[in-house]
Amino acid sequence: MGFRAGAGSGGSGLITVIDMGDDTALTLTPEHSNTIFLVGEAALAVTLPAAATIPNGWNVKFIGHHATSATLTNTTTITCAGTNELFGHCVTGADNGNRQLQPVSAGAKDNIKLHTIAAKGDWFELTRCGAGYFVFGRSRINNGLPMA
């Protein structure tokens, strides 16, 4: 059984999986907590809620799903409603090669991308923690999850 477009639930119903398909914009709300988004079929612009407006522990995950080859077809960009609300690192790097942290230097950022050079199955997760969002994820491709 494959994934289908639209909302669904997995396991006990505590996690929702949404295949974004060819949608090009998404504004996240507090109700999106515990949701996994399958992305990459269309260039998708996602806006996070201001961190101060949602509870600690709110979390979402983005997985590169649509690909015509080994890499994603389109870039998904997640942007904060506030300024410098993303902190943390993603690990990127070629399969069985040297790993690198993204971003290379510490500091709060405004957006993260699941870039077209990322591989199908690469992912990152955002968890509201304190004054912003903690970010972690993995990409098998160097610079596949840039933060700026």
- Which residue type occupies 30? P
In this structure, the number of other CB atoms found within 10 A of the CB of residue 134 comes to 15
Structure confidence by residue, pLDDT tens digits, 88-146:
877 777 655 666 666 666 667 888 888 888 888 889 999 999 889 999 888 888 777 77
**Token output for 14:** 């505590």
Structure confidence by residue, pLDDT tens digits, 9-59:
444 446 899 999 999 999 999 999 999 999 988 999 999 999 999 999 999
Contacts 24+ apart (CB under 8 A), 25-32: 28/60, 30/54, 30/55, 30/58, 32/60
Query: Can you give the pTM of this predicted structure?
Result: 0.83
Cα distances from 88 to residues 12, 109, 111, 123, in angstroms, run: 29, 9, 12, 14
